[in-house]
């Protein structure tokens, strides 16, 4: 498992230790564990190389693993778990830990979907912001600007499920690892503020292998 300082990627067990159990089920009705997903009709997505992935359920709606302003399908075998950004408390130290680990630009991590049960090393993470964080384009550009070592950003607009959004593909160079890899993110506008989905990966190869799962999430996005 890997932790990153500031906006660097972290694993769930590490965050649970640092935040004293920050990875918990979303608030709301009780359910069978944080990894619960609602059943979805069989769906799939295919990337530019023709690689496909089957849907393994839907998250975002009330009663699902992560209750969000949007819902979307996650890939078969991937495991969703909610992140509680308030778990570190309201003290200055608690807020500092939360900002360092979970906040990126104007949005805060609220859910992570782990690819490891499906055999990949990476996460699809969901961040949300308040309505005053700006529209999808503003929030996404600020999200990317908060990353270190970013280059080659390419933005374009898209629509899905009645939502308007912006997507970006870019490169991120890690000084610590002396490595450059591909990353991708999207943002959509909702009545409750912008929502950002980010796909990283241990390296470019892992990132590309997980793209069908990201494409599945994008094409099934809906408001909740």
Whether residue 178 is contained in a domain is answered as: yes
Specify the pLDDT at position 90: 80
Q: Can you state the percent helix, strand and coil of the chain, rounding each to 5?
A: 20, 35, 40
Max mean pLDDT among 16-20, 52-56, 157-161, 175-179 falls in 157-161
Q: Tens of pLDDT along 192-213?
A: 999 999 998 999 999 999 999 9
Q: Is the pLDDT of residue 37 over 70?
A: no
- Let me know: does 166 contact 136? Beta carbons within 8 Å: yes
CATH of the domain at 182: 3.40.1000
Instruction: For residues 54 and 78, give the distance between their C-alpha atoms in angstroms, rounded to a whole number.
Output: 11
Burial of 18-47, coded b for 16+ CB within 10 Å and e otherwise, reads bbeebbebbeeeeeeebbbbbebeebebeb
Q: Tens of pLDDT along 154-175?
A: 999 999 999 999 999 999 998 7
Specify the pLDDT at position 100: 82
Q: Structural domain of residue 161, as residue ranges?
A: 12-25+46-223
First-to-last C-alpha distance (Å) of the chain: 32
Whether residue 38 is contained in a domain is answered as: no
Q: Tens of pLDDT along 177-187?
A: 788 999 999 99
């Amino acid at each position: 498992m890997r932790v990153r300082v500031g906006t660097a990627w972290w694993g769930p067990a590490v965050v649970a230790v640092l935040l004293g159990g920050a990875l918990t089920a979303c608030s709301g009705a009780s359910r069978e564990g944080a990894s619960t997903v609602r059943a979805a009709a069989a769906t799939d997505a295919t990337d530019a190389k023709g690689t496909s992935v089957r849907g393994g359920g839907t998250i975002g709606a009330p009663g699902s693993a992560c209750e969000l302003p949007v819902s979307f399908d996650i890939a078969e075998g991937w495991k969703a778990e909610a992140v509680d950004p308030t778990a570190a408390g309201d003290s200055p130290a608690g807020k500092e830990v939360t900002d360092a680990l979970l906040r990126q630009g104007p949005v805060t991590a609220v859910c992570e979907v782990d690819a490891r049960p499906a055999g990949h090393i990476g996460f699809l993470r969901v961040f949300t912001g308040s309505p005053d964080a700006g529209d999808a384009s503003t929030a996404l550009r600020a999200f990317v600007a908060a990353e270190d070592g970013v280059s080659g950003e390419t933005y374009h607009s898209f629509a899905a499920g009645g939502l308007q959004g912006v997507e970006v593909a870019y490169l991120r160079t890690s000084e610590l690892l002396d490595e450059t890899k591909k990353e991708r993110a999207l943002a959509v506008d909702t009545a409750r503020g912008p929502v950002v989905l980010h796909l990283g990966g241990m390296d470019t190869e892992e990132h590309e292998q997980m793209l069908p799962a990201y494409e599945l999430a994008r094409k099934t996005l809906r408001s909740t």
